[in-house]
Amino acid sequence: MRRRRALLGTVSALTGHGVFAQIARSAVTADQRYLSSDTSCYALCRDTALREAFGDGQDVAYLDCAAIVLEAVRIQMGDAAFGPFLRCVVEAEDAYAKRSAQRPAPRPVTADAHEDFA
């Protein structure tokens, strides 16, 4: 489990939390489509969901990396556990975003700020 969290944490750090939440939501969509359809190729469902979320023309270099990491986690976990795990990831990302939005903005640094520490 730690390895999976580390992989997903790496993707989150590289992309930022908002983009990572979109990637995770895309993976949930792909997982649902894969499990409920006749498609035998998860990668096709994943790539389609990523294109829907981020657009065909958008040049986002880390999406390929994200797709590889998600595929590695899915293979490690197995299909039955992957979807519920991703839903937990999305819920955690949503909670993080909500907490971040509620935090007060940092106090701006002014020219005389050094006097506070003198």
* pTM of the model as a whole: 0.62
Q: Is 69 contained in some domain?
A: yes
Q: Is 112 contained in some domain?
A: no
Q: Is 52 contained in some domain?
A: yes
**pLDDT at site 62:** 63
Q: How confident is the model at residue 48 (pLDDT cuts 50, 70, 90)?
A: confident
| Cα angle 47-85-21, degrees, rounded to a multiple of 5 | 55
Q: Is 99 contained in some domain?
A: no
Number of domains in the chain: 1
Q: Is 62 contained in some domain?
A: yes
Q: Is 103 contained in some domain?
A: no
Six-digit token pair at 110?
């002014």
Averaged pLDDT, 100-116: 67
Q: Which of residues 2 and 69 earns the better pLDDT score?
A: 69
**pLDDT at site 1:** 59
Nearest residue to 25 via CA among 72, 69, 91:
91
